[in-house]
């Protein structure tokens, strides 16, 4: 079956702008998580959505937000972009049970200039 799809693959934005990233999970998966990957920091958890509800949230400022639709597709929004937001943003889906493996998309590379 099709894997996790993230769009777009690449984005270039300027400081102060906002951006929306999209994620389509594997069919049947109800949980979608978002991670930020930066050099030297590994992957850092942003938030998880399950059945359209945010189930858990990482330690990121309120400029980072997300939502999930009834078809489990998810979007992540970053407002008032800063240079430090430049990163690879990864979306992962799972069936939603605790410790069920995460299946990652190929990510969206965001560059803020």
Partner 1 sequence: DQQVKQNSPSLSVQEGRISILNCDYTNSMFDYFLWYKKYPAEGPTFLISISSIKDKNEDGRFTVFLNKSAKHLSLHIVPSQPGDSAVYFCAASGNTGANNLFFGTGTRLTVIP
Residue 48 in the binding site for partner 1 (CB under 8 A): yes
Binding residue for partner 1, selected from 71, 106, 111, 113, defined by CB under 8 A: 106
Q: Residue 98, class by beta-carbon neighbours within 10 Å (0-12 exposed, 13-18 middle, 19+ buried)? A: exposed
Return the number of the residue (19 or 32) whose C-beta is nearest partner 1: 32
How many Cα atoms within 13 Å fall on the side-chain side of residue 67? 4
Q: How far apart are CA 35 and CA 40, in angstroms?
A: 14
Residue 58 touching partner 1 (CB under 8 A): yes
Of residues 19 and 92, the one with the C-beta less far from partner 1: 92
Smallest distance from the beta carbon of 5 to partner 1, in angstroms? 11
Q: Radius of gyration of the chain from Cα atoms?
A: 13
Q: How far is the CB of 80 from partner 1 (least distance, A)?
A: 25
Tokens of 57: 């949230």
Q: Is 65 in the site for partner 1 (CB under 8 A)?
A: no
Beta bridge partners of 12: 111
User: Considering the complex, what minimum distance in angstroms separates the CB of residue 58 from partner 1?
Assistant: 7
Instruction: Please state, in angstroms and rounded to a whole number, the distance separating the CA atoms of residues 4 and 94.
Output: 10
Binding site for partner 1 (CB under 8 A): 4, 31, 33, 35, 40-45, 48, 50, 55-56, 58, 90, 92, 94, 96, 98-107
């Amino acid at each position: 079956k099709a894997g996790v799809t993230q769009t777009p693959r690449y984005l270039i934005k300027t400081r102060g702008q906002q951006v929306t990233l999209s994620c389509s999970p594997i069919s049947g998966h109800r949980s979608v998580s978002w991670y930020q990957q930066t050099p030297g920091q590994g992957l850092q958890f942003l938030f998880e959505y399950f059945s359209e509800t945010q189930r858990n949230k990482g330690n990121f400022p309120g400029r980072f937000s997300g939502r999930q639709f009834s078809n489990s597709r998810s979007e992540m929004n970053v407002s008032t972009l800063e240079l430090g937001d430049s990163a690879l943003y990864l979306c992962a889906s799972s069936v939603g049970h605790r410790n069920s493996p995460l299946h990652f998309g190929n990510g969206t590379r965001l560059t803020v200039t």
